[in-house]
Amino acid sequence: MNDDTKYKDVRSLTASLVASLSPEDQMVQSCPEASPVKWHQAHTTWFFETFVLRPFLKNYKPFCEDFRWLFNSYYNSIGGEIPDKRLRASFCRPSLDEVLAFREHVDQAMQRFLSGSADDESARRVILGLNHEQQHQELALTDIKHVFFSNPLRPSYLAAEFTNEADLPVPKLEWHASEGGLVEIGYPLQVENPLDFCFDNETPRHKVYLEPFQIANREVTCREYLEFMLDDAYTRPEFWLSDGLETVKHGDWQAPLYWERDASDKTGWRVFTLRGWLGLSSLLDTPVCHVSFFEADAFARWRGCRLPTESEWESVASTAPLRGNLLDTGRLHPASANGAGVDQLFGDCWEWMASPYVGYPGYKPLPGALGEYNGKFMSGQMILRGGSCVTAASHIRATYRNFFQPATRWQFSGIRLAA
């Protein structure tokens, strides 16, 4: 597939993911982690304008000079004001129509740019921009889920119901043993090939020594997590990191995000999904999601296990086929495990790792403003691996490192055990 086709595919997928949302839906920012969908649409466009068109397309005329700072997320090196993230919901101007016109303006310029011959640096930036937009597609879906959950009417993003995969028998939790030893992790980037892509934080590839370990054959299910809740684990300090217990008390957490008590379901709970409410009893064999690192870690302690390290995870995932319940299935919710071997490594839920987000040995951020993309967030965050049911299949790989603060749980984040 050439760059032009890839560009059109990614940009039109954004348009189709947000097609059912009204201008009002696209204005809401319902939690500090999230951004309005309108902002996602503008910011991803800003990325191409700022990093590709302004520096590389001759005679490019920017759509609006104010957009240069207005839709900057966090790149201080660009200069100028960066609006506080919490103010994104106040952007009633520009209107959604103006943002869509901005997208059209940039798309037309990008067509002109891609029809010419690009040098290596601009070709790399186009691929980075497409991967950036795929990240924001995922964010737009997780953010709109939170928006609809926060609305008293509790609307659904998708009208259609799930097909009933929950009836399939889920494999019981089994351990896959690895003898460990010296392994290589990180993306083997061919630097001379501008079309070979990974994020800078996946490099350099390097050796890690692993003790023998065991990793679970699938993600932890809602049924298993409910047992943890029914054992009063949320109130038992022995399972919790100090910051975790504080977070649980402060937020009065008694269950994952999007779980709500419901006497009409035999479990006593219902779960909000992108297709509206579902009784927990219909989801018991599906992976638990929307848990924080603290909850994942406490669950593992309660089970007498631990979370995997990212090196352990990658050593297993790098030999597994890259398939799973990703965005492309259209389910938009985790599904029951049904594969043999170590299943659900890709898709369903991002899996919290026991590893803090730090640079690999010899890590160098990209030069210039793009060096702010990943590297400056390497403090106070934990690694997640494997993508989720709202991650595009063409976006994820075994070496991919996602990262969030340990208390965050608005992403599709779940649990895999290790021992």
Which residues of this protein are in contact with Fe ion, per CB under 5 A?
73
Percentages of the chain per state (helix, strand, coil), in multiples of 5: 40, 15, 50
Select 73 or 318, whichever has its Cβ closest to Fe ion.
Answer: 73
CB of 46 to Fe ion, least distance (A): 9
CB of 44 to Fe ion, least distance (A): 7
CB of 372 to Fe ion, least distance (A): 10
H-assigned helices in 152-238: 222-230
Select 15 or 168, whichever has its Cβ closest to Fe ion.
Answer: 15
CB atoms within 10 A of CB 352: 29
Select 73 or 329, whichever has its Cβ closest to Fe ion.
Answer: 73
CB of 136 to Fe ion, least distance (A): 6
- Nearest residue to Fe ion, using CB? 73
User: How close are the terminal C-alpha atoms of the chain, in Å?
Assistant: 42
CB of 235 to Fe ion, least distance (A): 38
Select 47 or 259, whichever has its Cβ closest to Fe ion.
Answer: 47
| Structure-token pair, residue 301 | 């302690």
SS (HEC) of 73-110: CCCHHHCCCCCCHHHHHHCCCCCHHHHHHHHHHHHHHH
CB atoms within 10 A of CB 184: 13
Residue whose entry in the numeric block shows the structure tokens 């898709």: 347
Q: Is 334 helix (H, G, I), strand (E, B) or coil?
A: coil
CB of 274 to Fe ion, least distance (A): 22
Select 202 or 295, whichever has its Cβ closest to Fe ion.
Answer: 202
Query: Checking phi first, is residue 414 left (phi over 0); if not, alpha (psi -120 to 50) or beta?
Result: beta
> CA angle, 394 as apex, 392 and 398 as ends, to 5°?
95
Select 37 or 222, whichever has its Cβ closest to Fe ion.
Answer: 37
